[in-house]
Amino acid sequence: MKVMKQEYIDGIYAGWLGKIIGIRLGAPVEGWSYEQIRDIYGAPDGYPVEYRDFAADDDSNGPLFFLRALEDSKKKDQMEAQDVAEALLNYAPFEHGFFWWGGYGVSTEHTAYLNLKNGIEAPGSGSVEQNGSCTAEQIGGQIFIDTWGLVTPGNPDLAAKLAEKAASVTHGGNGVYGGIFVAVCISYAFTEKDIHKIIEKGLSYLPADCEYTRVVRAVMEYHEAHPGKENWESCYRFVFENYGYSKYPGVCHIMPNIAVMILSLLYGEGDFDDTLNICNRCGWDTDCNAGNVAVIMGVRGGLAAIDYNKWRKPINDFLVCSSVVGSLNIMDIPYGASYIAKLACILSGEELPEPFNQIVRERIDCCHFEYPGSTHAIRVRTEHLHTSEYYPSLEYELQNTAESAATGKRSLKVTVNRMQPGENILIYKKTYYRPKDFHDSRYDPAFSPLVYPGQVLHGSAMVPDYGQNVGLSLYVREMHTGVTYQGSVVYPPKGKWITMEYQIPALTGALIDEIGFCVHVGGERDGGRSVPILIDDLYADGKPDYTIEMEKEEEEVWTLVHREITQFTKLKGLLYLEEGQLHLSACDFAEIYTGRYDWKNYRAVFNITPLTGEHHMVNVRVQGASRSYAVALLPNQKAALLKNENGYQVLAECSFQWTAGREYQIEAEVKGNWLRAKIDGQEILSCQDPENPYLEGSIGISTQKGSHCCCRRIAIS
């Protein structure tokens, strides 16, 4: 099979990295005017705000999760608009998080979502005919489209085709044209570096007489008459007076913002920094515009165009999202790039070159460091055992290096200064996040852990020849207690890679929020020393063995209106803790989820008490809001196995005498396409799902028709 070009893989990473850079650059001044930015920040060159950790954003949520329609539908280049619509319904929480839920007829995406929920299929859901031109031609068709260009490197025809399908789910008219234009520019930038030719290529797929084309050409003509970076502000004044917000209806129309994007692409003259800074200084929808522009410039210029210390180091490859699938909300930028590259190969009929092929097939969320400069959001802290010599400012450096690697070509060098014998260095990846970790509550993220008790932790490390004698072990941290669990300490010879494994013990009521390496510093006491370590291939696999004890879970308060329960993400409903029980209810339906998105064969045991109503369910193989299995207590003293395929359908049912107010132990087992259900130890149902079975997914609890239940405990094995 033909192998994908390495430069395409590098371009996908650079483009996706650029997207996150642009979002973070523009987020602090989103919605500001040119004058406000000028008066507060002057001429900002780089990030206006140093975020602690940047919370989820709609501009990255949409591109990542709408793209999953390619994998979910299995239709490849024959994907239809309704397939993207199904992804929207499946991965977006109901009217919270993910994107702006501004109301029907106000927020374009909210309008389309409610159209879809009520049976108006795509592309009608986003069309001008259904929603009017004002709603249909807001900016979203443009800002959520980047990945359709990244997934079609050097194939603008396919980029245009897929982008048109994707954008039409939520938009119409010029809103769809914007999606096509941006996706084509990104795809074409893999093979063409001339900015004017990239823009012309994008326009070649649009009607010559549409408003979108007219605005783009007007800015191009102004630039031709007034070239030179020093004239960008006069071009902005031209855009403001002729195509500004006052000229178009709605909250955030696409036209003023594409004018600013074209302005920055032209006056940036091919320089990544100048292009992004000009785009941001213009104001309006800054994170959207800078995000789109940064993808084009990232693909066009590659990683060499993106200054590491200025743009990449503050991000540290970190990204979180706010879909309804909590374990997919913790991802780093290399994961997103690898997922896009995987789908790009499916579309092109190619294979990824090694080691990416093995990484994507076997452990896509591994910390492998094969993308130049990547860090996988690795963090460092130290345990200073000699408190009198505690240094308040930790000095360390992360450096992606080709010096040596356990596998592949690259690894991460971690150097920590001023360490004393008996002290420990913890080099780790966060596998769960809490509100205190973030700068804000942007787009309401919520999480389920990435790693669980019972799994096996893997990692490789090397002490370089010029390093210190140290001991190494793998460790995990349990969040509720703060206790760390460690494997055996190994004292490796210098200059040789060692590969370690650690069986995480089965734990009751546990939540793993860190995995990593513990470096045990040895030697004689002195004035402090630098300790360099190379790490590679950090990941966990194997099956979980643990329980969730609701009495140990906590309410997480992000804001007054954004509250979560640890480990769980919510589709919809009232969710709270009371007297050691997790309660779930709604006026219509309610669903919550936890666990990893890729669990395959397992047994889940729920201690559930139905309280009011007659529809109480526990879910397994949850793949989102629209796809799962359930064991249900139903009206007329029935129990059933259900399949959620855009609505619950009965696979098998039986009589079962159940009573409100009594706790039941409901056990659901999934193996291959077989499902079995037990209640209080007695098998009541089993069946096969012969048609399109769900073969992996997380777990959950749900109610229907105004029911209310509570759960005391969940055991997974």
Task: Give the pLDDT of residue 393.
Answer: 67
Tokens describing residue 214: 């007219």
44: CB partners within 8 A, 6+ apart: 37, 277, 280, 281
pLDDT tens digit sequence for 646-680: 999 999 999 999 999 999 999 999 999 999 999 99
Question: 333 near 20, Cβ under 8 Å?
Answer: yes
**203-231: average pLDDT:** 98
Burial of 288 by CB count in 10 Å (0-12 exposed, 13-18 middle, 19+ buried)? Answer: buried
DSSP 665: E
**Cis amide prior to 355 (ω within 30 degrees):** yes
Tokens describing residue 206: 């649009």
Q: How far apart are CA 587 and CA 585, in angstroms?
A: 7
Task: Give the pLDDT of residue 647.
Answer: 95
Question: 138 near 152, Cβ under 8 Å?
Answer: no
For residue 560, the one-letter residue type is L
Q: Which of 522, 77, 60, 567 is nearest to 318 (CA)?
A: 60
Task: Give the pLDDT of residue 529.
Answer: 81
Q: Which of 49, 58, 52 is nearest to 25 (CA)?
A: 49
300: CB partners within 8 A, 6+ apart: 189, 193, 195, 198, 270
Phi/psi of residue 706, nearest 5 degrees? 75, 20
Residue 389: helix, strand or coil by DSSP?
helix
392 has pLDDT over 80: no
Task: Give the pLDDT of residue 271.
Answer: 98
SS (H, E, C) 148-209: HHHCCCCCHHHHHHHHHHHHCCCCCCHHHHHHHHHHHHHHHHCCCCCHHHHHHHHHCCCCCC
Tokens describing residue 195: 């900015």
* pLDDT-derived band at 386, boundaries 50, 70, 90: low
Neighbours of 488 (CB within 10 A): 11
441-474: buried (b, 16+ CB within 10 Å) or exposed (e) per residue? Answer: bbbbbbbbbbbbbbbebbbbbbbbeebbebbbbb
**481-501: average pLDDT:** 96
Q: Which of 105-119, 413-427, 621-635 has the lowest mean pLDDT?
A: 413-427
pLDDT tens digit sequence for 304-330: 999 999 999 999 999 999 999 999 999
Tokens describing residue 239: 């855009």
pLDDT tens digit sequence for 620-651: 999 999 999 999 999 999 999 999 999 999 99
Neighbours of 207 (CB within 10 A): 12
Q: Is 495 left (phi over 0), alpha (psi -120 to 50) or beta?
A: left
CA Rg value for the chain: 26
**110-119: average pLDDT:** 98
432: CB partners within 8 A, 6+ apart: 330, 447, 448, 449, 450, 479, 511, 512, 513, 567
**Cis amide prior to 227 (ω within 30 degrees):** no
Half-sphere exposure of 530 (CA within 13 A, CB side): 10
Burial of 638 by CB count in 10 Å (0-12 exposed, 13-18 middle, 19+ buried)? Answer: middle
Q: How far apart are CA 532 and CA 300, in angstroms?
A: 35
Q: How far apart are CA 261 and CA 253, in angstroms?
A: 13
395 has pLDDT over 80: yes
Task: Give the pLDDT of residue 215.
Answer: 98
pLDDT tens digit sequence for 84-111: 999 999 999 999 999 999 999 999 999 9
Full set of structural domains in the chain with CATH: 6-320 (1.10.4080.10), 379-543 (2.60.120.260), 568-716 (2.60.120.560)
**394-416: average pLDDT:** 96
Q: How far apart are CA 139 and CA 286, in angstroms?
A: 12
Q: Is the pTM for the entire model greater than 0.95?
A: yes
Instruction: Work out the widest C-alpha separation in the chain, in whole angstroms.
Output: 81
pLDDT tens digit sequence for 247-263: 999 999 999 999 999 99
> What rounded mean pLDDT belongs to the chain?
96
